[in-house]
């Protein structure tokens, strides 16, 4: 399964990683690589919990194109 991840700088100098289709699934790392490794572990954990709870594996999201 491939899921999109959003990376952005945190206030503490770490890189924050968030998976938009999994509400509350967020992690961080000192480097981009560490943040991606950590969010991958978080995604696996979130999906396991969602399965156990009988919830949909992911929530619906959408991408929009905006002219600027």
Average pLDDT, the chain: 96
- What range defines the domain where residue 38 resides? 6-53
Count of the separate structural domains present in the chain: 1
pTM value?
0.88
Residue 64 domain flag = no
Residue 34 domain flag = yes
- Taking the alpha carbons at both ends of the chain, their separation in whole angstroms is 32
Residue 63 domain flag = no
Taking residues 44-64, report their average pLDDT: 94
Residue 1 domain flag = no
Weakest-pLDDT range from 10-14, 39-43, 61-65: 61-65
Taking residues 8-23, report their average pLDDT: 96
Residue 59 domain flag = no
Residue 16 domain flag = yes
Residue 36 domain flag = yes
Q: How far apart are CA 62 and CA 68, in angstroms?
A: 19
Q: What is the pLDDT of residues 34-52, one digit of tens each?
A: 999 999 999 999 999 999 9
Residue 41 belongs to a domain with what CATH number? Answer: 3.30.160
What stretches of the chain adopt beta strand conformation (E)? 6-9, 15-18, 26-29
């Amino acid at each position: 399964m491939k899921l999109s991840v959003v990376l952005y700088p945190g206030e503490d100098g770490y890189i924050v990683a968030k998976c938009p289709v999994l509400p509350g699934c967020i992690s961080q790392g000192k480097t981009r690589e560490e943040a991606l490794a950590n969010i991958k572990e978080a995604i696996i954990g979130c999906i396991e919990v969602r399965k156990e709870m009988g919830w949909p594996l992911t929530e619906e999201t959408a991408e929009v194109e905006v002219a600027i």
